[in-house]
Amino acid sequence: MKAVILVGGEATRLLPLTCNTPKVMVPVINIPFLEHVIHYLSQHQIKDIILAQRHLSQSIKSYFGNGSRFEVELTCTIEDIPLGTAGAVKNAEQYLDDTFLVLNGDIYTDLDIAAMIDFHLKRKAKATIALTPVDDPTSYGLIETNAQGRVTRFLEKPQWSEVTTNMINAGTYVLEPEALNRIPPQANFSFEHELFPLLLDQGEPVYAYTSSAYWIDIGTPEKYFQLHRDLFSGNSARHSCPIGDEVLVGEQSYIHPTVHIRGPAVIGSNCIIGHKVKLTGPVVIGSGGTIQEDSVIEESIIWRNAQLGQRVSLKNSIVADNCRLNDNTTIEDSILGDSVTVVSGCKLEPGSKIWSGTTVEVP
């Protein structure tokens, strides 16, 4: 079976982290998010994967190539104009001649794909939509079903008085190629608002597969942070990483004997952690990072090649690639885009979002 990953989704909610980094290349435990998705598909024996992109991303191409390094076959399709979720899959129609899978490129889930595909085939569905429960369904589109799982109604962002279910679209679909016939070529067309309601109105068998497996949309910095916390807590069964006080250190990294680490923590390769540095997890430090003496890092995610000076205090924050935090800087509850420089002695206001390439000089 083939799978289409919708890579070209909107990334503005993840700013400033995605100024120069495609959303699917944002690192999760020091691994690009897309690599997690590809590994997930491969575990379910889906190795023929199409990346539906809005424009050619050189960083995606350089990292993944044709997929052979990951034991999969990758094909890319490019949109000349924005085509929406369904339009992007229509753009890949030439590669889809049998039942296929579609995934939103910003979803991390433990959904049992094999069970969902089996459900779809047994019911002879034209389309099957994965559902997941949420606490507050009023912010989402609800999907109502009958006892057999057949979809009976779509309800977009209901009032609480209208809520009949807490199950929402989980961004994973199984489709038959004929469903693509309803999508006009080279037109902006969505699954959620157009194709699925159209199939339902025409009496086609549209089903919903309900799962309580781990699920999260990483579309905001808060959710991105939450995914790390969940992985370190063992809430997802799919990724093995340090739990509790465990610490994982990459190759050729040096940690001074006086460093105090309370895990969980992941330190990438070629890092230098200096004299009397304190790390309180969950902490992730990307490859090539340097943290100088007496700095304190608490519950933060640091991407690649970050340089932290002496006596830096970093708490509950995300620091993107190639940032430089000079001596005696204090950063809390903040997000720094790539290549940000914070001048010595600066104290950022909690909640700051600093755009790529900025030099922060305000004390």
For 192, the token pair is: 């959620």
Structural domains counted in the chain = 2
The answer to whether position 12 is within a domain reads yes
Q: What distance in Å separates the CA atoms of residue 279 and residue 229, rounded to the nearest whole number?
A: 15
> What is the SS3 assignment for 202?
coil
- Active-site residue, from 157, 278, 315, 353: 157
What pLDDT was estimated at residue 201? 96
pTM of this structure: 0.94
Do residues 172 and 271 share a domain?
no
Shared-domain flag, residues 154 and 72:
yes
Q: Are 337 and 320 contacting, i.e. CB atoms less than 8 angstroms apart?
A: yes
Across the chain, mean pLDDT equals 94
Give the separation between CA 78 and CA 169, rounded to whole angstroms.
25
- State the pLDDT at residue 137: 78
Do residue 43 and residue 111 come from a single domain? yes
Answer yes or no: do 222 and 322 share one domain: no
Catalytic residue flag (residue 157): yes
320 and 287 share a domain?
yes
**Residue spans of the chain under pLDDT 70:** 9-11, 363
Query: Considering the domain boundaries, does residue 170 fall inside one?
Result: yes
As a whole number of angstroms, the distance between CA 222 and CA 317 comes to 10
Element (H, E) at 359: strand 359-360
- The verdict on 153 and 75 lying in the same domain is yes
Q: Decide if 239 is inside a domain.
A: no
Which residues form the domain of 109? 2-233
Helix and strand tally (H, E) in the chain? Answer: 6, 32
Do 223 and 254 share a structural domain? no
| The one-letter amino acid at 164 | T
**Per-residue pLDDT, 9:** 61
Of 204, 233, 262, the domain-final residue: 233
pLDDT at 67: 97
Structural domain includes residue 241: no
How many angstroms separate the CA atoms of 249 and 219, rounded? 28
On whether residue 58 sits in a domain, the answer given is: yes
Report the pLDDT value the prediction gives residue 142, as an integer from 0 to 100. Answer: 81
Burial of 362 (0-12, 13-18, 19+ CB in 10 A): exposed
* Structural domain ending residue among the three candidates 233, 267, 284: 233
d(CA 342, CA 358): 8
